[in-house]
Amino acid sequence: MEKVKKIVSDILAKQKINTVYYVGCGGSLSGFFPAKYFLSAEATKLKVGYINANEFVHATPKEIGKDTIVIAASQRGNTAETVKAVEVANELGAATIGLTFEVPSPLAETAQYVIHYEFGPESIVENQKVSYGFKLALEILNRVEGYDKYNEMITALAKLNDIVAKAKIDVVPEAIKWAWEFKDDSVIYTMGSGSCWGPAHQEAICIFMEMQWINASVIHSGEFFHGPFEITDKNTAFLMMKSCGHTRFLDDRALDFINKFNNRIFVLDATQYGINELGEVAEYLEPMFCNNVIGVFNNLLADARKHPLTTRRYMWKFKY
């Protein structure tokens, strides 16, 4: 957190902060959704944006300027669209922060401030990409407007790793069962609401479609009854990341319907694995729980399908 505090302090010494934009592609963008959700829910003055990096480049929001912070992420630090987006933000006078696992890298060289995050099964949850994106939102909100649960959130972040570590062990029996039941599905729909829409989106595009070549779509639980529920039958495969917060009602409503017509939905519910120990702020940190714990399921699915998570058909194979 000290790194984040210093960056925000340095920026505030040079400019005001009226607007925060989260920019990235794929999992790096969806990983920012918890931070965007938090600011949208808690900020009364700060404006927050959440946008694909290439869209940012080609349809740059006019509010980007000297009182804006643009926070961008790229795992290897070489996503061309993201690096270009940071260049554009720099030219417009915004403060830019780059989150990357690879240093040095083009993103690290382009962003004005750089956070080198941890990655992998042994990484500490609060030092991961999603957590740093969130901690920046937390610190900015507290410094600009004040946030009465700031200390509670810092304490909860420190507790999160232990909850995740235990859950990754406790879910193994369910994960084995799920992997063998879902390994032959050609389509899987992910569902979520609130801050959990972020990890549900990431699961669909990065795991099922990119890494497993399974057709997938993410469905917001609140949108389920406005079109998507028509695809429900007894064999439709669903994976829901259930909210522990204000939008849990939306998930329960969708589940009540699905359970009447379908017996192939798996629900990852963090309340069964201790997330409520984090108190009122748990719903904002639940995506970090989901991102880590679902990894147990994904590794077992890849094993059951004999399709390693590292396999690609197009990505990094040629210019695109």
Q: Of 158, 294, 284, 281, which is closest to residue 239 (Cα–Cα)?
A: 294
Is the Cα dihedral 45, 46, 51, 54 positive or negative? positive
Low-confidence ranges of the chain (pLDDT < 50): none
pLDDT at residue 317 in the model: 83
Q: Give CA separation, 32 vs 29, 62, 147, 183, 243, in Å.
A: 5, 21, 20, 29, 17
pLDDT at residue 2 in the model: 87
**213-236 b/e with 16+ CB inside 10 Å = b?**
ebebbbbbbbbbeeebeeebeeeb
| 297 contact partners, CB below 8 Å, separation of at least 6 | 171, 175, 178, 179, 268
Q: Give CA separation, 137 vs 90, 104, 228, 277, in Å.
A: 20, 25, 32, 22
DSSP category for residue 228 = G
pLDDT at residue 102 in the model: 85
Distance CA 12, CA 8 (A): 6
Contact (Cβ atoms closer than 8 angstroms) between residue 27 and residue 37:
no
Q: If you search the block for the tokens 């004040």, which residue do you land on?
A: 146
**Residue 227: left if φ>0, alpha if ψ -120 to 50, beta else—which one?**
left
pLDDT at residue 110 in the model: 97
**Cross-strand pairs, 99:** 73, 115
CA angle 130, 136, 138 (to 5 degrees): 100
CB-count burial class (<10 Å; 0-12, 13-18, 19+) for 149: middle
pLDDT at residue 316 in the model: 82
Distance CA 125, CA 115 (A): 15
